[in-house]
Homo-oligomer: A and B are copies of this chain.
Amino acid sequence: MSAHAPSDLRRVGKSVSAAHARKPANAVGIQDVAQRSGVSIATVSRVLNGIKAKATEETEARVRKAADDLGYRPAHAGRALRMRQTKLVALLIPDISNAFYSTIARSIECALRQSDHPMILCNTDEDSALQDFYLDEMQSYHVRGVALLGAVESSGLQRALSHDLPIAFINRRPPQGGGVFVGIDNYAAGRAVAEHFLIKNFTECAIIRGPQYSSASRERFEGFTSRLKEAGAPVKAEDIVDSRLSIEDGYEAASRLFNRRRPRAVFCGNDLIAYGLFRRCAELNLNVPGNVAVFGFDDNPLNDWVAPWLSTVHIPYAAFGTAVTRALMELWTGERPAHAELLPFSLKLRGSAE
């Protein structure tokens, strides 16, 4: 699926086709507003930007009316040049075609729009070179901030942070510390799943965990195992399988697992892995959740329709947008940035009879 291979990432402004600039036939500038309201452009700028040392209420009204009459829209290019800052926000995301990510992206785009911040979308494939490319590119576009979903460690990330680029880390904590985190408490969620396993007496269980370079996967795993260990039923090493967060990899990991063990229940790193596992169960004539109970993570939005057998950790997708916006706002206003913006999660149980 990902035949997206960037060969040359570093080429700067190669050839700009000599396209003639669009003529501002109907473009109305600040000058026009000034003229129409009989004041200077300075006053117009001040009024429209709501500077405290405003102007007479009378002038303000005149200016506003003129701007309104003319349908004046400030040219972002001018402002960007002067302020070295745009209202653009970049969303760096592993893969927009993944339902988990795209649902979060939806929420973020919606929230950003409401605060008048257009969103540039960048697929990183969790590739550090690509992430760096975009990080640099977005800085040269003077974006006001970056929402970084699924961050990977990279030199460009270090650099961006040292340049004071406002970055909100989503779902996965900043690889080298610092920054603001937005997401659920994965450790607590892992423990909650373990708690459920204990109640159901699923001590004979296995784990197909996600990549450990991801703080999210790591914390889920650690929370889960720590709770079981406390209960005197530690997970054995041979019951732990590694997998990447895709259906294909989940299927393969499940094959490996079932080759040597027949656990009563399996905790998967995410729902996609669980999908793959389910396929393997079907092939082995294992009933889910009768013979094998399956627990996933993320609660894929399609679950209700395609996976009525899957219990999972539900993520508040819709809450990400406002949380990310809030985090960025704090960064912008220079408030003491909260270390993390934790979102609530819940266990979604499916398929169990009781």
Contacts and interface: CB of A to CB of B under 8 A. Distances in A.
A346 interface: no
A142 B16 CA distance: 16
Contact of A333 (B19, B23, B110, B333): B19
A16 B73 contact: no
Given A81-B81, A97-B103, A275-B305, A332 B19 contact: yes
Given A19-B333, A102-B96, A121-B120, A49 B140 contact: no
A324 B77 CA distance: 26
A110 B4 contact: yes
A275 B121 contact: no
Contacts of A163: 24, 26
A137 interface: yes
Contacts of A116: 11, 13-14
Interface string A61-98: 00000010000111111101111111010010001110
Interface string A89-119: 0010001110100110110011001101011
A136 B110 CA distance: 17
B121 A85 contact: no
A229 B169 CA distance: 57
Q: Most chain-B CB neighbours within 10 Å: which of A6, A11, A116?
A: A116
A3 B318 contact: yes
Contacts of A67: 12
A72 B164 contact: no
Contacts of A114: 6
A282 to B, nearest CB: 10
Interface residues of A, number: 79
A123 interface: yes
Contacts of A3: 318
A289 to B, nearest CB: 17
A109 to B, nearest CB: 6
A353 interface: no
A150 to B, nearest CB: 15
Interface in A303-354: 305-307, 318, 332-334
A50 interface: yes
A118 B110 contact: no
B113 A118 contact: no
A237 interface: no
Nearest to A84: B21
29 contacts: A1-B301, A6-B113, A12-B72, A12-B74, A13-B48, A13-B74, A17-B332, A18-B84, A19-B332, A19-B334, A21-B83, A21-B84, A21-B85, A22-B164, A73-B137, A73-B139, A73-B140, A75-B140, A81-B81, A95-B106, A96-B105, A99-B99, A119-B120, A119-B122, A275-B306, A276-B305, A302-B306, A306-B306, A306-B307
